[in-house]
């Protein structure tokens, strides 16, 4: 029996992108869905985005928290951005704005999210995390030394590690293990201003394959909504959404 697992991540308050990806995923009728965190910071629609995530959660999706979700719920910027000596006001104000948009119930739901979820399909164990096993901030960046990649991947016995965080989609095979980085369903950095996600398939013979999917959405309208909000840094966030490249 063929099994399908969908992975999406880093929707960052972009409800239009998330909705487009969710519709694309539904057509695949997957056996499991991972949502790998960073749900609402930066984008113009944190409430609608979180509502969509909660609908997917209620339908069985495995949702984990990302580092920016910590910033939004508790303003713990040192935990959310440990690589920054000083977190800029543009990030702090965006987190405070997103926090203020959410209801108390939404904030508590976001705060209670785990940092890891697991699904076993037959003999294959899948792990869903934001950045890497045991970490919400140490990701599988393409520029990392191979030894660091292997070290981070060794933090789990799962065969398939489903992540986001880097905003650059990639499938990386490490012998028996596979890292499936879904990129971003709403704030991608690879130069393609569509929403990225991933589909993992296990066929009848037990062979595993993974591919990155791209789903178009109205990025220009979302970028304009960010610009109209007028928070510090929004001109750069809007340009990032519009171009698919990190602008700062």
Question: pLDDT tens digits for 113-159?
Answer: 999 999 999 899 999 999 999 999 999 998 999 999 999 999 999 99
The helix (run of H) or strand (run of E) holding residue 30 is none
How high is the mean pLDDT of the chain? 97
What is the per-residue pLDDT for 206? 83
Domain 3-243 bears CATH identifier 3.60.21.10: yes
For the purposes of burial, counting CB atoms within 10 Å of the CB of 12, is it exposed (0-12), middle (13-18) or buried (19 or more)? Answer: buried
What is the per-residue pLDDT for 204? 85
Give the residue extent of every domain in the chain: 3-243
What is the per-residue pLDDT for 230? 95
Residues of the chain with pLDDT under 70: 1
Phi, psi of 137 (to 5 degrees): -130, -15
What is the per-residue pLDDT for 115? 97
């Amino acid at each position: 029996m063929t099994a399908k697992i969908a992975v999406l991540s880093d929707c960052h308050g972009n409800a239009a992108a998330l909705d487009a990806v969710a519709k694309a995923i539904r057509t695949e009728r997957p056996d499991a869905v991972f949502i790998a965190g960073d749900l609402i910071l930066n984008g113009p629609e944190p409430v609608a985005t979180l509502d969509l995530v909660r609908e997917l959660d209620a339908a069985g999706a495995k949702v984990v928290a990302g580092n920016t979700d910590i910033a939004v719920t508790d303003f713990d910027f040192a935990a959310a951005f440990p690589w920054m000596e000083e977190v800029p006001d543009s990030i702090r104000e965006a987190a405070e704005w997103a926090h203020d948009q959410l209801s108390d119930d939404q904030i508590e739901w976001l705060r209670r999210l785990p940092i890891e979820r697991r699904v076993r399909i037959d003999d294959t164990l899948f792990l869903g995390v934001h950045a890497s096993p045991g970490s919400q901030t140490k990701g599988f960046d393409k520029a990392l030394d191979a030894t660091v990649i292997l070290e981070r991947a060794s933090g789990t016995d799962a065969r398939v590690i489903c992540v986001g965080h880097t905003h650059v989609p990639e499938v990386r095979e490490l012998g028996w293990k596979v890292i499936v980085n879904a990129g971003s369903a709403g704030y991608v950095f690879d130069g393609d201003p569509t929403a990225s996600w991933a589909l993992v398939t296990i066929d009848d013979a037990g062979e595993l394959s993974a591919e990155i999917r791209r789903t178009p959405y109205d990025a220009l309208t979302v970028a304009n909504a960010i610009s109209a909000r007028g928070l510090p840094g929004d001109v750069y966030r809007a340009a990032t959404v519009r171009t698919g490249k990190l602008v700062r």
